[in-house]
Amino acid sequence: MIYLDNCATTRPRQEVAEALAKSIMEDFSNPSSLHSLGLRTEQRLKEVRKGLASILRVKEGEVYFTSGATESNNIALQGVIRKNLKRGGRIISSPIEHPSVKNVIAQYRDDIEVDYLTVNDKGEISLDEFKSLLKEDTFLVSIMHVNNELGTIYPVEEMGRIIRGTKTRAVFHVDGTQGFMKVSLNLKDIDLYSASSHKIYGPKGVGLLYKDSSVNFNPMTYGGSQEGAIRPGTENINGILAFGRAVRLMEERSKEEFEHVSLIKKALLEGILSKVDGVHVNSPENSSPYILSLSFKGIRGETLLHLLEGDEIYISTSSACSGGVSHVVEELGLDKDYSFGTVRLCFSHENSLKDVPYILEKFVKYVKELRDI
Ligand code: PMP
């Protein structure tokens, strides 16, 4: 099997699966319980939080565990938007955010003005346009770090500095799901940051939200005082501990992995461009090495996906969360002849350079066959 759908989700590492299995039996006590079993679990939870805070270079009390990036994005965005509803104001975002950002903002379109940044045919934005859109009454900016369909990396550190340098009251949220532990980022000028465990070989159903202590908002759900009461409910302690294991392994191996996936992406891209005509490369040159988006003229990405699946090569057309031509590909302004033929390849440490010739052979074969039909 050649699994190239690592943006949708990754296979947990063996060590993570083992940590999870062990923890389910051992760490069953509620971290809020006052007895020693509860205290032990609470201590373990604290250690993971501490480790994450140190990696993100933020305070321990600023890291909150959630059920994933969708929830982190919702808590962050709805928290800030609701706080500003009465006063009103503007939001800046891009039209190619993940649905867990895009659809949250869309919910408030009747009450709040939204300024969308323009994107080019590779999903890139302009900092000059961003500066011009940033107004005194802009209260929220939400931009992802790495686009999940294209791999485009956004200049979020620079955007944070720009926001800090203006008089706006804007809070800056970054959806870091596809960049977390993969593409380096300094959170110094970022107020809110979301990430997910299952994109870095951790279990599903766990994520994190970093919230700068200066940002205050009400929770979306009400309950106990867990996670600073912004994410109440008994913590997914076993998932969090396994997430902690995945993070530590990523920390040890991410540099090596970055180089590994860069080589695979380069070899595949060069191979496809030299063997197939009529291809639009949607990923910019300096995009995340983990993601390659290509649009093949005159074919359907979905048909190509199913043909490759017959040879146990697993890819995706765009994001796992959308069907047909996604809103991201739609925004690139490609000719329809190309946009329907969009596929996304996402790499991991499990892929091998040795598989590249086989993948290329299958791509060339099926694209030709589909075009002949
Ligand atoms: N944001 C981005 C950029 C993503 O790629 C994803 C996952 N497809 C999410 C948010 C949602 O993450 P989760 O599955 O953890 O809710």
Q: What is the largest CA-CA distance in the chain?
A: 70
Q: Which pLDDT does position 318 carry in this prediction?
A: 72
Residue with CA at minimum distance from ligand 1 atom 4:
177
Q: Which pLDDT does position 88 carry in this prediction?
A: 93
Looking at the chain, the whole-number percentage of residues with pLDDT higher than 90 is 97
Residue with CA at minimum distance from ligand 1 atom 10:
69
Fold (CATH) for 14-249: Aspartate Aminotransferase; domain 2 (3.40.640)
Give the CA-trace dihedral at 219, 221, 224, 226, to 10 degrees: -60
**Residue limits of CATH 3.90.1150.10 in the chain:** 2-8+253-372
Catalytic residue among 37, 112, 215, 321: 321
Enumerate residues lining ligand 1, CB below 6 A: 68-70, 98, 100, 144, 148, 175, 177-178, 196, 207, 321
Residues 69-84: pLDDT tens digits?
Answer: 999 999 999 999 999 9
Residue 291's identity, in one-letter code, is I
| Ligand 1 closest atom vs CA 204 | 15
Residue with CA at minimum distance from ligand 1 atom 6:
177
Where does 2-8+253-372 sit in CATH, by number? 3.90.1150.10
Q: How close is the Cα of 230 to the center of ligand 1, in Å?
A: 20
| Ligand 1 closest atom vs CA 97 | 3
Q: How close is the Cα of 37 to the center of ligand 1, in Å?
A: 34
Q: How close is the Cα of 166 to the center of ligand 1, in Å?
A: 30
Residues 147-197: pLDDT tens digits?
Answer: 999 999 999 999 999 999 998 899 999 999 999 999 999 999 999 999 999
Mean of per-residue pLDDT scores for the chain? 96
| Ligand 1 closest atom vs CA 321 | 8
Question: Is 187:193 a contact under the CB 8 Å cutoff?
Answer: yes
Question: Is 83:211 a contact under the CB 8 Å cutoff?
Answer: no
Q: Which pLDDT does position 324 carry in this prediction?
A: 67
Whether 321 is catalytic is yes
Q: How close is the Cα of 97 to the center of ligand 1, in Å?
A: 10
Confidence check: pLDDT of 34 > 90: yes
| Of 188, 110, 107, 195, the residue nearest 144 (C-alpha) | 195
**Residue limits of CATH 3.40.640.10 in the chain:** 14-249
| Ligand 1 closest atom vs CA 73 | 10
Other Cβ atoms within 10 Å of 229 Cβ, number: 14
Q: Which pLDDT does position 167 carry in this prediction?
A: 85
